[in-house]
Structure 1
Amino acid sequence: MDSQARPQLTDRADAALPERITRSAAARRGEPVADITAWVQRRRREVDFTVRRIAFDELDGWSFSPETGNLVHRSGRFFTVQGLRVSTGEHPDRLSWHQPIIAQPEVGILGVLAREFDGVLHFLMQAKMEPGNPGLVQISPTVQATYSNYTKIHKGADVRYLEYFTDSSRGRVLSDVLQSEHGSWFWRKRNRNMVVEVTDPVPDHEDFRWLTLGQIHELLHHDNTVNFDARSALAGLHRGVGSRALHSDTELLSWLAARRSVTPITGVPVSLADIPGWTRDAYSIHRDDERYFHVMAVSVRAGNREVAAWTQPLLEPNDQGLVAFLTRTFDGVPHVLVSARAEAGFSDAEFGPTVQCVPRNHAHLPAGEQPPFLDLVRSAPPSRIRYSALHSEEGGRFLNAVSRYLVVEATQSEAPVQEPPEFRWVSHDQLAAFTRYSHYVSAQARTLLMCLNTLAA
């Protein structure tokens, strides 16, 4: 008799999960969306939230390092605002620049708890305050915490429900992947995006509600309501992969590998005090021409956070952004036009939106040097705009970073089957499948994928 236990094989994928996700996306019964938005508004009123701009010398625990000139915390943790010299492409001397960037090497957790009620998956979402959010409170993941926060470097309270994401015995993982964040403003930043299903009851709290995917999809049609971290974490849930597309997965991966090889990204950290074209005064670090963004400081009070009051730097864009997918249907299969998006803080190009920019930053350029498809997206008639809403970016590090997210139906003449070299048509199912892997689908493209899901529900 064999003395060793027989190996137990398991299915490589959960065959039932796509159907369960589809059922949750179709479920909009129960608590009306108006009641959910009223709950968010009520939390904004009932909890003491204030954000006030301050001078850099009013920061508590933050200072400009005399050695590097970088803006650092006295603990050596949280994050640093440093300088970066960037070059991209085969001829880096032709495309290079300097900028401030946020360096936060630790990996945080963006975690959503899932539980089945009456045969339908629900997700535990939080009404969470972030100092950079328009309206301050938005619908967020169950857990949204940096490593410094959940190891209590700030000496604050415990992060509620954290144990479900750090102790694998407490639930079943439905999605778990390290994803990049906003590469134009973060240096090599990654977060662990997780969805964990539990079967036992979870303690209630007034800042948390169980919602179906269908309810979350409805909320995505409301401006500045579902925060970036929730959009990112839930983008990793998809309803299975269709078998047909304009390009095979291998063709798309080969194309992206080729684009990465001819668009290398080189970033060299430099002193924040020494970046040309940028000036520091008492209240901000900004470009001399006032384009792109500036770095500033705030004082925060938040009655329901792990720490009730603190100060910190934030990065503030100079204007509203525009992020869009062009979409077409080929032989009954919907596709979007992705770009090979290279950003300063990325290690490699990723699948990105068709258009992603702050139009004001390009207003001085002649038409031929504007971002591809920008004019097409901006001039699209309402009849061809399939989705439109304002969404803010990561509110813990960026102030009033809001973009108009659009899905625009394109014609054959506007966006032909034969793509420009830096673009490819990708089916919705393909894009969703690529979110299972790190560094393939950019932060803004993950939000657009969630927006596409609202149309398919």
Structure 2
Amino acid sequence: MTLSMAPPGVPAAAGSPDLGRRFTVSASVTDSPITPNAEFDAWFARQRSANRFHVTRIPFGDLVGWRFREDDGNLVHDSGKFFSVTGLEVNTDWQDRGSWSQPILDQPEIGILGIVVKEFDGVLHCLMQAKMEPGNPETVQLSPTVQATRSNYTGVHGGRRTTYVEYFTSPERTLLVDSLQSEQGAWFLGKRNRNMIVEVTDDIPPHDNFRWLTIGQIHRVLAQDNVVNMDTRTILSCVPFEVPDGPVRNTGNPEYREALVRSLSGRHGSLHTTGHLMAWLTDAKARHSFVRRTLPLSAVGGWSRSDDEIAHDEGKHFKVIAADVRAGTREVTRWTQPLIAPVERGVAAFLARSVNGVLHLLVHAKVEAGTFDVCELAPTVQCLPVNFRDLPVHRRPRYLDLVLNAAPDTLRFDAVLSEEGGRFHHADNRYLIIDVGEDVPSRDDQDHHWMTVHQLMTLVQHSRYLNVQARSLLASLHTTW
């Protein structure tokens, strides 16, 4: 590897004029002699069927190394590292939400989410991992080369060293993508991870849990339920793709595909300038009152703790549970930990339509309890429907009924994808991109604006703009070229 002299804070190859083209070429290659699709499918099936992973729900009293602290009731690790479950109180006039309190995960560390890439026969390939996480619905999912908290990759757990982490911590790394991004604002307090893509030219020692894949091969399985994990999706959302010039994948909807290509290019106009959109988001952050403070977990109202869970009194939102985990391929082969478990599957959807021949997505400026900077750009609809079933129409998310009742022929992307399995138990969303045509006007409101794909791709290069669900959908959108 060679040291690149990029300006501070700028990825080493960010100024390369052909960086986007290299990524786009990789996305256009949907099979590869390095790891043919048939070989990958067989390998991935073996990884899932190896029966080396066991996740069992346990009472809080059986947690090892974790305890409810006497003075505040917070659920903490004996080392003071990893994360804690604390309480949070929020007061806001945003969308008449008022005040509430809730448990929340407090993990101030910035972790690494990283993919190593290397050229084979002129095509970038990604070193991808079949990784077990205790909360994954299918246990093993396709993960980045490295996904690790600082506590993990610095060895606080006392286990094996994180495989390949040195490619991301070396000062001589060649960075292609480097972006600090948020995680789930409803469940994490200000949590961020460093999303990285590092290029190597040297040979890398092989490992049975890892395979080289093109981005096109990853896109092939991203459209399948619960195969590609959240950490892979958020890294791929930061890739600066150019307009695809390879084979057309989406042959069933030529008008949609043409509008998408125009939207990707950024050369065919948009309903709003990027400056206008940034001003709108800034105004959204400043327009409302949003005050929060941490409080003892024992002081959180409307939630009750039993021997094996902390649950909302109305059966909404999520539970805090405990699990015993056995995993032969992890740095530590057995441990216990708390997990957040949502009470039902969520929905995250972008409404899409052509405006003057250019595809636009309807983006929501959404506030969540733990969001680092008041609000971020979110999908048009992002929620657990159960939380709103007993509320009047004006208190329900706008467009929720449209999303839940979308006709099959309007769906351009539709897959069930899970959230981060290291902290959340069976937390998945039905991710949708819905082509609404002219059924939804191209008008905006205070909390929703129409944006092109190019504008979203521009903003995601920076922190504090797109939330993790919007980034998952942006990564998914690239499978529909």
Q: How many angstroms apart in 1 are the aligned matches of 2:350 and 2:217?
A: 23
* Matching residue's letter, 2:201: T
Q: What is aligned with 1:366? A: 392
Q: How many angstroms apart in 1 are the aligned matches of 2:459 and 2:38?
A: 33
| Aligned positions, number | 447
Pick from 266, 275, 279 the counterpart of residue 242 of structure 1: 266
Q: What is aligned with 1:96? A: 99
Aligned positions of 1:71-110 closer than 5 A: 71-89=75-93, 95-110=98-113
Aligned positions of 1:221-300 closer than 5 A: 221-240=223-242, 242-243=266-267, 244-300=269-325
Aligned positions of 1:13-28 closer than 5 A: 13-28=15-30
Q: How many angstroms apart in 2 are the aligned matches of 1:335 and 1:91?
A: 24
Residues 1:54 and 2:78 aligned together: no
* Paired residues of 2:13 and 2:174 also in contact (CA < 8 A): no
Residues 1:154 and 2:180 aligned together: no
Shift of 1:330: 1.7
Residues 1:312 and 2:314 aligned together: no
Cα pair distance change 1:397/1:163, threshold 3 Å: same
Q: What is aligned with 1:4? A: none
Q: How many angstroms apart in 1 are the aligned matches of 2:51 and 2:288?
A: 47
Shift of 1:87: 1.9
TM-score (norm 1): 0.95
Q: What is aligned with 1:352? A: 378
Q: What is aligned with 2:436? A: 410
Q: How many angstroms apart in 2 are the aligned matches of 1:88 and 1:117?
A: 52
* Paired residues of 1:86 and 1:265 also in contact (CA < 8 A): yes
Q: What is aligned with 1:44? A: 48
Q: What is aligned with 1:29? A: 31
Q: What is aligned with 1:448? A: 473
Pick from 310, 332, 336 the counterpart of residue 361 of structure 2: 336
* Paired residues of 1:265 and 1:344 also in contact (CA < 8 A): no
Q: How many angstroms apart in 2 are the aligned matches of 1:197 and 1:8?
A: 14
* Paired residues of 2:14 and 2:176 also in contact (CA < 8 A): no
Q: How many angstroms apart in 1 are the aligned matches of 2:394 and 2:39?
A: 48
Q: What is aligned with 2:70? A: 66
* Matching residue's letter, 1:252: L
Per-residue Cα deviation, 1:90-143 (whole angstroms, up to 9, x for no partner):
698x61100000000011000000111111111111000000001100000100
Q: What is aligned with 2:254? A: none
Shift of 1:34: 4.8
Aligned partner of residue 294 in structure 1, secondary structure:
strand
Q: How many angstroms apart in 2 are the aligned matches of 1:196 and 1:366?
A: 49
Shift of 1:32: 4.6
Q: What is aligned with 2:201? A: 199
Q: How many angstroms apart in 1 are the aligned matches of 2:288 and 2:224?
A: 37
* Paired residues of 2:54 and 2:326 also in contact (CA < 8 A): yes
Cα pair distance change 1:374/1:15, threshold 3 Å: same
Q: How many angstroms apart in 1 are the aligned matches of 2:103 and 2:415?
A: 29
Q: How many angstroms apart in 2 are the aligned matches of 1:376 and 1:102?
A: 32
* Paired residues of 2:74 and 2:84 also in contact (CA < 8 A): yes
Q: How many angstroms apart in 2 are the aligned matches of 1:248 and 1:225?
A: 36
| Higher mean C-alpha displacement, 127-136 vs 29-38 | 29-38
Q: How many angstroms apart in 2 are the aligned matches of 1:12 and 1:49?
A: 39
Q: How many angstroms apart in 2 are the aligned matches of 1:100 and 1:179?
A: 22
Q: How many angstroms apart in 2 are the aligned matches of 1:435 and 1:217?
A: 19
Q: How many angstroms apart in 2 are the aligned matches of 1:292 and 1:36?
A: 37
Stretches of structure 1 lacking an aligned partner (at least 5 in a row): 1-6
Q: How many angstroms apart in 2 are the aligned matches of 1:21 and 1:393?
A: 25
Shift of 1:432: 1.1
* Paired residues of 1:33 and 1:219 also in contact (CA < 8 A): no
* Matching residue's letter, 1:381: A
Aligned partner of residue 250 in structure 1, secondary structure:
helix
* Paired residues of 1:47 and 1:304 also in contact (CA < 8 A): no
| Higher mean C-alpha displacement, 26-35 vs 326-335 | 26-35
Aligned partner of residue 148 in structure 1, secondary structure:
helix
* Paired residues of 1:109 and 1:147 also in contact (CA < 8 A): yes
Q: What is aligned with 2:406? A: 380
* Paired residues of 2:85 and 2:105 also in contact (CA < 8 A): yes
Identity of paired residues, percent?
47
Aligned positions of 1:429-448 closer than 5 A: 429-448=454-473
Pick from 407, 422, 425 the counterpart of residue 447 of structure 2: 422
Shift of 1:147: 0.3
Shift of 1:180: 0.5
Shift of 1:335: 1.1
TM-score (norm 2): 0.90
Cα pair distance change 1:429/1:90, threshold 3 Å: closer
Shift of 1:36: 2.4
Aligned partner of residue 458 in structure 2, secondary structure:
helix
Aligned partner of residue 412 in structure 1, secondary structure:
helix
Q: What is aligned with 1:190? A: 192
Q: What is aligned with 1:3? A: none
Q: How many angstroms apart in 2 are the aligned matches of 1:148 and 1:408?
A: 40
Q: What is aligned with 1:145? A: 148
Per-residue Cα deviation, 1:322-355 (whole angstroms, up to 9, x for no partner):
0000001122221100000111001221111000
Aligned partner of residue 438 in structure 2, secondary structure:
coil
Q: How many angstroms apart in 2 are the aligned matches of 1:12 and 1:396?
A: 31
Q: How many angstroms apart in 1 are the aligned matches of 2:284 and 2:46?
A: 48
| Higher mean C-alpha displacement, 329-338 vs 148-157 | 329-338
* Paired residues of 1:82 and 1:269 also in contact (CA < 8 A): yes
Per-residue Cα deviation, 1:387-410 (whole angstroms, up to 9, x for no partner):
100000000000010110000011
Q: How many angstroms apart in 2 are the aligned matches of 1:8 and 1:97?
A: 46
Q: CA RMSD in A?
A: 1.8
* Paired residues of 1:86 and 1:344 also in contact (CA < 8 A): yes
Shift of 1:379: 1.0
Q: What is aligned with 2:221? A: 219
* Matching residue's letter, 1:120: V
Cα pair distance change 1:452/1:190, threshold 3 Å: same
Q: How many angstroms apart in 2 are the aligned matches of 1:11 and 1:284?
A: 47
Cα pair distance change 1:218/1:60, threshold 3 Å: same
* Paired residues of 1:355 and 1:374 also in contact (CA < 8 A): yes
* Matching residue's letter, 1:429: H
* Paired residues of 1:47 and 1:302 also in contact (CA < 8 A): no
Q: How many angstroms apart in 2 are the aligned matches of 1:151 and 1:39?
A: 30
Shift of 1:8: 10
